[in-house]
């Protein structure tokens, strides 16, 4: 019950934040041929900063605003400058949507103490293979079950994730 409410509020704040900085510069996301190419581009261009106020007002930055920063190196956009935490997940969804046959989605991983959460972009490709992209790169996965996502990222972040919840892409 709390997680869906939190995710709805975060999506709303993301859209409000984007509206508040509507003057911020944007660039279209380039076309990629594979999920691995999306992850490689993200790994080369993204800059992890964490969210302002330790995530208290966590939001997603619009993917085209991130793309502008990726291409120009100008991270000054927005109210407090561009902040990148889980924002790469929404950028990855936007980039993967343009690849024929790839179906991306965002999932929020929740820890047992409700203190840490992490958002990842998962996908199924045209051959039925599954994978995920986040701040730690690209991973192929045997499936997209909650238990698989929680175990994989729990090992990466040394955290006990207990659920993976579908998260609506906030910029549709």
Query: Looking at residues 39-68, what average pLDDT do you find?
Result: 75
Assign 101 to helix, strand or coil: coil
CA distances from 33 to 7, 65, 97, 101, 133 (A): 30, 22, 11, 11, 15
Name the band, by pLDDT with cuts 50, 70 and 90, for residue 81: low
Which pLDDT value is given to residue 86?
66
Which 3 state secondary structure label does DSSP give 80?
Answer: coil
**What is the C-alpha separation between 115 and 117, in angstroms, rounded?**
7
Higher pLDDT pick, 132 / 6: 132
Q: What is the pLDDT of residues 136-150, one digit of tens each?
A: 889 999 999 999 999
User: Residue 57 has what pLDDT?
Assistant: 58
- Is pLDDT of 59 > 90? no
Are 134 and 55 within 8 A, CB to CB?
Answer: no
Average pLDDT over residues 66-95: 77
Alpha carbon distance 99, 35 (integer Å)? 8
DSSP codes, 120-172: EEEEE-TTS-EEEEETTEEEEES---HHHHHHHHHHHHT--EEEEEEE--TT-
SS3 content of the chain, % helix, strand, coil (to 5): 40, 20, 40
Residue 61 pLDDT greater than 70, yes or no: yes
Task: Sketch out the chain's domains with CATH numbers.
Answer: 2-167 (3.10.620)
Per-residue pLDDT at 155 exceeds 70: yes
pLDDT band at 10 (very low <50, low <70, confident <90, very high): confident
């Amino acid at each position: 019950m709390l997680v869906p409410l939190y995710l709805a509020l975060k999506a709303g704040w993301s859209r409000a934040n984007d509206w508040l900085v509507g003057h911020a510069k944007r660039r279209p996301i380039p076309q990629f041929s594979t999920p691995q190419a999306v992850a490689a581009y993200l790994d080369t261009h993204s800059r992890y900063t964490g969210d302002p106020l330790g995530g208290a007002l966590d939001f997603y930055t619009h993917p085209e605003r991130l793309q502008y920063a990726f291409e120009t190196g100008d991270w000054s956009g927005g109210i407090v400058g561009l902040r990148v935490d889980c924002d790469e997940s929404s950028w990855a969804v936007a980039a993967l949507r343009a690849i024929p046959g790839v179906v991306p989605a965002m999932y929020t991983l929740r820890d047992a103490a409700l203190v840490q959460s992490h958002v990842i972009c998962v996908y199924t490709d045209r051959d039925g293979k599954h994978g995920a992209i986040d701040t730690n790169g690209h991973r192929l996965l045997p499936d997209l079950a909650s238990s698989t996502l929680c175990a994989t990222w729990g090992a990466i972040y040394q955290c006990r994730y207990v659920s993976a919840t579908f998260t609506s892409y906030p910029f549709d």
